[in-house]
Amino acid sequence: MNNKEFISKLAKRCGIAAAEAAAGVDSFVAVMTERLKENDQLNVSGFGVFEVKMRKERVSVNPKTGQRFLVPPKIVPSFRPSSKLKDKFNE
Amino acid sequence: MDAKLNHSDLSALLAKQAEISGAKAEAFTKAFFDIILEGLEQDGMVKINGLGTFKVTDVASRSSVDVNTGEKIEIKGHKKLTFLPADSLKEKVNQPFAMFEPVEIDEGYVDDSDEPAANETEGAQEDAPTVEDTPVTTRDEEPATVEETTATEAAAPQEAVEIPAIKEEEEEKKEEEMPAEVPAVMETATEEKEKEPKEVTAEEAPATAESEEQAKEATAESVAEENTASEQPAHKEVKNSYPITEPAPTAAEPAAKKKTGIIYTLFIIAAILVAVVIYLRPQLFGIVETGKETVTTVKTTPTKVVEAAKPDSVEVVAEQPAEEPYTFALVDELAAKSVGAITRGDTLLYVADDTIATHTVAADETLVRISLKYYGDKRLWPYIVQYNKLHNPNGLSKGMELLIPRLQPAK
């Protein structure tokens, strides 16, 4: 399911126009992004947790050239599915 | 900030952001996550622009070990929900660290401490021209040579003194004490002493002149001259060695200067007394002369001059200072041959027995400067290197903390 299919389905479900649904998705993603930027944890019951994680700096080696790089630290968004969701796919 | 938001909080925020009613927002977010779940069940993946991709992936079965029993177990293959964040989301979240970029680490960096150390020594040679080897080897060689030189130096004056000793016991005592002290003091004193020997010879010249006026016999005079002459080379030998020797802490200088001054005057008085004694008992002269010839080789030149000038006593006195540069050069040569080849920058061996200070290196400081600051001498920096166990003396960096050892002359 791609973005387009997702929006059309969402529009149908909520009884709104596709454009409206698209705008709604955009603003919801914007809200989530904003919260994640603030290091907040987004807990969606029955679905999972969106959060950010800190990755420390590390040294990586290019196996071909043997060049060594110091990769800087970074913050990455992550998602942890709820146990309910996990089980759902393994039924 | 680090808050935990739930579904309703998100809905409220969305209502604010999209300017819709709370109920509508709640329904929308619920539908949002429900459709994601449905999509995952249908296709196994859902992509939402700006957020990322949810995907169901297969995990293959693998064997593992039970941590409690140690038995081999097989973990069955299962499905896993993964989330791959969109680039825009990653970028926005990583904004605090956005300025960092991967840096290539220089592969060619090798900590080669030996070569820079040699360079540093060369730099130090400008200050201490005689340093040729690395600090460690120099230190090992030096103590022995220093002892040798001082031994020979000490021997010369003492032997010279032994001859008059036959005549007067009191003098012997005085003089034997003095030469023993002289080399010791010499080594600890600084350049200022270079002036002193000149003063001494200047004083000696009138002194001998006086004695010569009293004594009209030529033989007695020559002995007197010889005495002074034999004393002078001895001084010079010592003199030549001490510009290379280690200057002592500056506090000791004035005291040492005074002491040597006293010793020199005593020495001159003793020399005059010897001259008088020899004048009074000329018959002993023969023994004296033969005895002395063997003492030092340097002595021969002054003796010749004196012998040539024998008839005229005034001339002898006049020639004595004129002869000075020559004997200087000669002694220099001798010193270069015998000692110079082995005598290095710091001829005294020190032992670092205690830490006197902790020095924080400033921006443009060098070991030489630090050495100058704490010891008043540029050449003692290797001790700081040794004491701090520095692998690379060139690798001095700002803010580095160095322990400054207290240096005691080794026995």
Counting other chains too, the contacts that A2-7 makes at CB distance below 8 Å and 24 or more residues apart are: A2/B47, A3/B47, A3/B48, A3/B49, A5/B39, A6/B35, A6/B36, A6/B39, A6/B46, A6/B47, A6/B48
Q: What residue has token string 């500056």?
A: B250
Please say whether the beta carbons of B79 and A44 come within 8 A: no
pLDDT tens for B8-60 read 888 888 888 888 888 888 888 888 888 888 888 888 888 888 889 988 888 88
On whether both B245 and B281 belong to a single domain, the answer is yes
Domain boundary among B340, B366, B385: B340
Q: Is residue B91 part of a domain?
A: yes
pLDDT tens for A27-64 read 888 888 888 888 888 888 888 899 899 888 888 888 88
For residues A11-37, average pLDDT: 87
Residues B129, B135, B137, CA angle at the centre, nearest 5°? Answer: 110
User: CA B69, CA B64: separation in Å to the nearest integer?
Assistant: 12
**B275 pLDDT tier (thresholds 50, 70, 90):** confident
Smallest CA-to-CA distance from B36 within A44, A18, A59 is with A44
The confidence score (pLDDT) of residue B110 equals 53
Domain boundary among B308, B340, B372: B340
Q: Is residue B130 part of a domain?
A: no
How does B277-289 read in b/e, with b if 16+ C-beta sit within 10 Å?
A: bbbeeeebbeebe
Q: What residue has token string 């938001």?
A: B5
The confidence score (pLDDT) of residue B107 equals 61
State how beta strands A48-55 and B72-75 pair: unpaired
User: CA B194, CA B300: separation in Å to the nearest integer?
Assistant: 23
Element (DSSP H or E) covering residue A69? strand A68-71
- Smallest Cβ distance to B97: which of A24, A66, A73? A73
Q: Which range among A55-64, B148-157, B192-201, B254-263 has the greatest average pLDDT? A: A55-64
Mean pLDDT estimate for chain B:
64
Could you give the number of structural domains in chain B? 4
**A76: closest chain B residue by CA:** B90
For residues B375-383, average pLDDT: 81
On whether both B165 and B32 belong to a single domain, the answer is no
Question: SS3 for B43?
Answer: helix
Of residues B174 and B13, which shows the higher confidence score? B13
Q: Where are the alpha helices (DSSP H) in B51-134?
A: 87-93, 114-125
Domain coverage including residue B32: 1-43
State how beta strands B401-409 and B350-360 pair: antiparallel
B115: amino acid identity, one letter: E
Smallest CA-to-CA distance from B204 within B272, B263, B260, B156 is with B272
pLDDT tens for B108-120 read 555 554 444 444 4
On whether both B201 and B332 belong to a single domain, the answer is yes
On whether both B315 and B211 belong to a single domain, the answer is yes
On whether both B179 and B258 belong to a single domain, the answer is yes
On whether both B357 and B371 belong to a single domain, the answer is yes
> Where are the domains positioned within chain A?
1-38, 41-91
On whether both B158 and B293 belong to a single domain, the answer is yes
User: CA B303, CA B182: separation in Å to the nearest integer?
Assistant: 24
Burial class (CB in 10 A: 0-12, 13-18, 19+), A61: exposed
Q: Is residue B121 part of a domain?
A: no
Lowest mean pLDDT among A86-90, B256-260, B263-267: B256-260
- Smallest Cβ distance to A42: which of B2, B5, B92? B5
Element (DSSP H or E) covering residue A28? helix A18-37
Mean pLDDT estimate for chain A:
87
Q: What percent of chain A has pLDDT over 90?
A: 2
Query: CATH 4.10.520.10: does it fit domain A41-91?
Result: yes
For residues B149-172, average pLDDT: 45
Please say whether the beta carbons of B133 and B142 come within 8 A: no
The confidence score (pLDDT) of residue B280 equals 81
The confidence score (pLDDT) of residue A12 equals 86
User: CA B232, CA B238: separation in Å to the nearest integer?
Assistant: 10
On whether both B160 and B240 belong to a single domain, the answer is yes
8 Å CB contact of B31 and A42: no
pLDDT tens for B277-292 read 888 876 665 554 444 4
CATH assignment of the domain containing B70:
4.10.520.10
- Smallest Cβ distance to B48: which of A25, A67, A75? A25
User: CA B75, CA B162: separation in Å to the nearest integer?
Assistant: 103
Q: What residue has token string 């005074």?
A: B258
With a CB-CB cutoff of 8 Å, which residues 70-89 of chain A face chain B? 70-79, 81, 85-86, 88-89
pLDDT tens for B325-347 read 454 555 455 544 444 444 444 56
8 Å CB contact of A70 and B102: yes
Element (DSSP H or E) covering residue A63? none
Listed in sequence order, the residues at least 6 apart from B170 whose beta carbon sits closer than 8 Å to its beta carbon are: none
On whether both B33 and B22 belong to a single domain, the answer is yes
The confidence score (pLDDT) of residue B373 equals 84
The confidence score (pLDDT) of residue B27 equals 86
Listed in sequence order, the residues at least 6 apart from B157 whose beta carbon sits closer than 8 Å to its beta carbon are: B178, B179, B182, B231, B234
8 Å CB contact of B39 and A72: no
Q: Which residues of B touch A60 (CB under 8 A)?
A: 102
User: CA B176, CA B10: separation in Å to the nearest integer?
Assistant: 103
Q: Is residue B83 part of a domain?
A: yes
The confidence score (pLDDT) of residue B330 equals 52
CATH assignment of the domain containing B398:
3.10.350.10
Smallest CA-to-CA distance from B348 within B384, B380, B371 is with B380
User: CA A2, CA B47: separation in Å to the nearest integer?
Assistant: 5
- Render B259-317 in DSSP notation, one character per residue: HHHHHHHHHHHHHHHHHHHHHH-GGGHHHHHHHHHTT-STTHHHHHHHHHTTT-HHHHH
8 Å CB contact of B28 and A68: no
The confidence score (pLDDT) of residue B108 equals 59
Q: Is residue B110 part of a domain?
A: no
The confidence score (pLDDT) of residue A90 equals 77
On whether both B402 and B297 belong to a single domain, the answer is no
Structure tokens at B317: 């006195």
The confidence score (pLDDT) of residue A58 equals 87
Q: Which range among B50-64, B118-132, B136-150, B381-395 has the greatest average pLDDT? A: B50-64
Please say whether the beta carbons of B213 and B314 come within 8 A: no
**B70 pLDDT tier (thresholds 50, 70, 90):** confident
DSSP at B342: T
For residues B374-390, average pLDDT: 82
**A73: closest chain B residue by CA:** B97
Please say whether the beta carbons of B253 and B151 come within 8 A: no
Integer-rounded Cα radius of gyration of chain A:
19
DSSP at B340: I
The confidence score (pLDDT) of residue B109 equals 56
Asked if A8 is an interface residue toward chain B (Cβ–Cβ < 8 A), one would say: no
On whether both B160 and B82 belong to a single domain, the answer is no
DSSP at A89: H
Burial class (CB in 10 A: 0-12, 13-18, 19+), B403: middle
Q: Which residues of B touch A17 (CB under 8 A)?
A: none
On whether both B37 and B70 belong to a single domain, the answer is no
Of residues B395 and B236, which shows the higher confidence score? B395
Whether the pLDDT of residue B88 is over 50: the answer is yes
The confidence score (pLDDT) of residue B188 equals 42
8 Å CB contact of B17 and A27: yes
- Smallest Cβ distance to A75: which of B29, B45, B97? B97
